[in-house]
């Protein structure tokens, strides 16, 4: 059974940084691309960033480009999101999501439970 467990969320002041982690199990982690998708309170889904199986392809939404950095450690079956210069509009539940493919296809077939990031002074 695929398990994706996010951690690292919390309350942070505007302009500060936060690093999210996602621990994966139940599948061969380095066979698949991985993503972060977020959902602001009471709002819809927004893709944030994705990384291919070997980190050779990386993509970001325009809303986070230059501020967020995605990475993965296949030896540790882990996905990360370094979030800098946080803004109030980054407040959301951040989901770790598995792609159906090794390349970036953006088809999310498994999701974690999410970790809540709140940006507020």
Partner 1 sequence: DIQMTQSPSSLSASVGDRVTITCRASQGISNYLAWYQQKPGKVPKLLIYAASTLQSGVPSRFSGSGSGTDFTLTISSLQPEDVATYYCQKYNSAPTFGQGTRLEIK
- Residue closer to partner 1 (CB basis): 14 or 26: 26
Least CB distance to partner 1 at residue 109 (A): 5
The residue among 34, 18, 13 whose CA lies nearest residue 79 is 34
The binding site for partner 1 (CB under 8 A) comprises 37, 44-47, 59, 61, 95, 100, 105-109, 111-114
Q: Which two tokens stand for residue 89?
A: 């509009």
Give me the least distance between CB of 85 and partner 1, in Å please.
Answer: 22
CB of 4 to partner 1, least distance (A): 9
Nearer to partner 1, 44 or 66 (CB): 44
Least separation, in Å, of the C-beta of 44 and partner 1?
A: 5
CA proximity to 99, closest of 30, 23, 21: 30
How many C-beta neighbours within 10 Å does residue 82 have?
14
Which two tokens mark 61? 């939404």
Q: What does 23-43 look like in DSSP terms, one character per residue? A: EEESS-GGGS-EEEEEE-TTS
Closer to partner 1 by CB, 12 or 93: give it: 93
């Amino acid at each position: 059974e695929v398990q994706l467990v996010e951690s690292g969320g919390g309350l942070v002041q505007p302009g500060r940084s936060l690093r999210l982690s996602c621990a994966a199990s139940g599948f061969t982690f380095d066979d698949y691309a991985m993503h972060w998708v977020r959902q602001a309170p009471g709002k819809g889904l927004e893709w944030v960033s994705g990384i291919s199986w070997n980190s050779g392809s990386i993509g970001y939404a325009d809303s986070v480009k230059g501020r967020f950095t995605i990475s993965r450690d296949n030896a540790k079956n882990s996905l990360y999101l370094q979030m800098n210069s946080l803004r109030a509009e980054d407040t959301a539940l951040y989901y770790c999501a598995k792609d159906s493919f090794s390349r970036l296809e953006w088809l999310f077939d498994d999701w974690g439970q999410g970790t809540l990031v709140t940006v507020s002074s």
